[in-house]
């Protein structure tokens, strides 16, 4: 266990848990019309603890061979000893995170794990820590291997990614308002409400980590609309807080579809095409902008 791991485990995580529980207590008293889902919070806390244990004690990930190759063939050796390297790592990570996050919605293999993060039917700080425990199994770090290939140490990239995710903790608070001119520049609570919504007007949007510049550049930025309140959870919601259902429903559904595949092409389609794809059907449409969908 590294010094950073100890700082996370014994410093950051307890603070996050405390803030999450305080928000839950406050929301349960503030919103009399909506019952706060303490069971979902418990499920999210279990996911957090299990994921920490997996990351600490499971040494191998599906992305490990790619990371090792990138390290052996790196173009340079960068350290954070100047502002140029810092900016390169920051914007490089934002770019890689954008494509990781977009692929996690548009490729079923990565969606299976990422869908765990979207499974809570209430959006709150507890939902922020439910990220899924199969990141190493699905090989998500492969999206950040280009930074290792450029010359950043893999552990430094992992720390930077952790800091990026820590920033995203607070944007899961639905009670925070829009932030004026920062909307469309930073990833804000309003932008992230859109990202977590399953409304057809909002689905597949706002993939950025700290910034939304790549969403603006690649056409996936969708602002929150006053006339369309976000509906949270999956399109096909999971109504249980049973960890086995939350963690394994997506994997069982994928295995069932793979077993039904009549050819290698169909099997690959189930893995790399978007969720909802079926043989003989067109690839499900990509990101939809709010202006493209009629009002309900």
- Say if 243 falls within a structural domain: yes
- Say if 92 falls within a structural domain: yes
pLDDT of 219 over the 50 cut: yes
CA distances (Å), origin 160, targets 66, 90, 221? 19, 8, 24
- The partner residues of 197 in beta bridges, in order of sequence, read 232
- Say if 26 falls within a structural domain: no
The percent of residues above 90 in pLDDT, for the chain, comes to 84
- Say if 1 falls within a structural domain: no
pLDDT band at 286, cuts 50/70/90?
A: low
User: Which residues, in sequence order, are CB contacts of 226 under 8 Å at separation 6+?
Assistant: none
Domain that holds residue 251: 61-122+133-292
> For 192-206, what is each residue's pLDDT tens digit?
999 999 999 999 999
pTM over 0.75: yes
Q: ∠ CA(272), CA(171), CA(5), 5° rounding?
A: 75
| Pair 123, 49: CB distance under 8 Å | no
Query: Rounded to whole angstroms, how far apart are CA atoms 113 and 213?
Result: 25
Q: How many structural domains are present in the chain?
A: 1
* pLDDT for the residue 33: 61
Per-residue pLDDT, averaged over 250-260, amounts to 96
Q: What is the mean pLDDT of the chain?
A: 92
DSSP characters for 54-80? HHHH----TTHHHHHHHHHT-S----S
- Say if 256 falls within a structural domain: yes
pLDDT of 209 over the 90 cut: yes
pLDDT band at 294, cuts 50/70/90?
A: very low
* pLDDT for the residue 32: 57
pLDDT band at 283, cuts 50/70/90?
A: confident
- Say if 184 falls within a structural domain: yes
* pLDDT for the residue 290: 42
Query: Rounded to whole angstroms, how far apart are CA atoms 209 and 136?
Result: 20
> For 117-166, what is each residue's pLDDT tens digit?
999 999 999 999 999 999 999 999 999 999 999 999 999 999 999 999 99
Residue 214: how many CA atoms within 13 Å on its side-chain side? 17
pLDDT band at 92, cuts 50/70/90?
A: very high
Compute φ and ψ for 234, nearest 5 degrees. Answer: -75, 160
Radius of gyration over alpha carbons of the chain, in Å?
A: 19
- Say if 65 falls within a structural domain: yes
- Say if 15 falls within a structural domain: no
């Amino acid at each position: 266990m590294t010094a950073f791991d100890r700082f996370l485990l014994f410093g950051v995580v307890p603070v996050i848990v405390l803030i999450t529980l305080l928000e839950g207590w406050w929301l349960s008293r503030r919103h009399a019309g909506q019952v706060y889902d303490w069971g979902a919070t418990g499920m999210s806390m279990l996911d957090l603890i299990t994921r920490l244990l997996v990351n600490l004690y499971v040494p191998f990930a599906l992305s490990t061979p790619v990371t090792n190759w990138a390290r052996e063939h790196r173009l340079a050796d960068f350290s954070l000893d100047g502002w140029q390297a810092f900016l390169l790592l920051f914007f490089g990570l934002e770019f890689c995170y954008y494509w990781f996050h977009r692929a996690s919605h548009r490729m079923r293999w990565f969606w299976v794990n990422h869908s765990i993060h979207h499974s809570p039917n209430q959006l709150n700080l507890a939902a922020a820590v439910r990220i899924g425990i199969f990141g190493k199994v699905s090989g998500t770090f492969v999206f950040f291997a280009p930074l290792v290939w450029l010359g950043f140490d893999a552990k430094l990239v992992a720390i930077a990614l952790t800091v990026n995710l820590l920033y995203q903790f607070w944007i899961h608070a639905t009670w925070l308002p829009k932030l004026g001119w920062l909307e469309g520049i930073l990833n804000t609570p309003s932008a992230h409400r859109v990202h977590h919504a399953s409304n057809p007007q909002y689905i597949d949007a706002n993939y950025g980590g700290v910034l939304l510049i790549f969403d603006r550049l690649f056409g996936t930025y969708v602002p929150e609309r006053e006339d369309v309140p976000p509906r949270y959870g999956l399109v096909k919601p999971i109504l249980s807080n049973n960890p086995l259902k939350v963690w394994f429903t997506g994997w069982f559904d994928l295995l069932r579809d793979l077993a039904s595949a009549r050819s290698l092409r169909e099997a690959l389609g189930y893995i790399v095409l978007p969720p909802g794809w079926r043989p003989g059907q067109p690839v499900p449409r990509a990101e939809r902008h709010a202006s493209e969908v009629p009002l309900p």
